[in-house]
Amino acid sequence: MGIPHAARPRVMQALAALAMMCAIASPVSALEVRVKDVRVPSGTVTATIELRDVVPEKFKSALENGDPLHLRIQAELWESRPVWDRLVYPAIVQVLRLVRTPRHEITITSPSGREMSYAALPNSLPLDLVLGKADRVARDVKYYVHVIATLGSLPERDVDELGDAVFGRPNEANGLGAFGRMIFRKMIEISDYLQSETAETRSRPAKLAFP
């Protein structure tokens, strides 16, 4: 059955209003990662990356409620070749913890324990990543950096105590027990990383900036 001619303007207005509501409800920001620089200072290969819109809209309510967020960054240096590119180092992985403190500050904690506090979450967050030693790279070769950034929520549980109960304490466990603990922790991390958003980028192949 067709729409009566007299009702068509009202239907078109309703569809236009619905489209506008959907546009407003859709996320206006998304996690983004860029490779800004790759250089070789002090005998190491270091990449500077920039994270933008670190906490998209769908995660902001969790952060406001005091729930921690975890930002996982994986970076790899590749040698650009005509046929098969070569991975220069094993991938490095860092996990940053983001939480709103009782003083309403945003605290970002690095794997080394270094804390950075902000009154408001910055739109742009630069990070330096040490990829490996310089003795595995050459001046006349082109390289690129592949980065994957994943923001997600993990429940705050004591994985170590649970692992101790299953496999024994680290100082008491044999090699098989230690391997089991590692697999167990990875399974916990993967299974709990349910709500997440991922951004990925790759820099252009270029020669590294040596001092």
Distance CA 197, CA 31 (A): 7
Q: What is the pLDDT of residues 23-81, one digit of tens each?
A: 434 444 588 999 999 999 889 999 999 999 888 888 888 888 888 888 889 999 999 99
Domains of the chain listed by start with CATH number: 28-154+194-211 (2.60.40), 155-192 (no CATH)
CA dihedral 127, 151, 70, 167 (to 10 degrees): -120
Q: What is the predicted pLDDT for the residue at 4? A: 52
Contact between 99 and 69 (Cβ < 8 Å): yes
Q: What is the pTM of this model?
A: 0.68
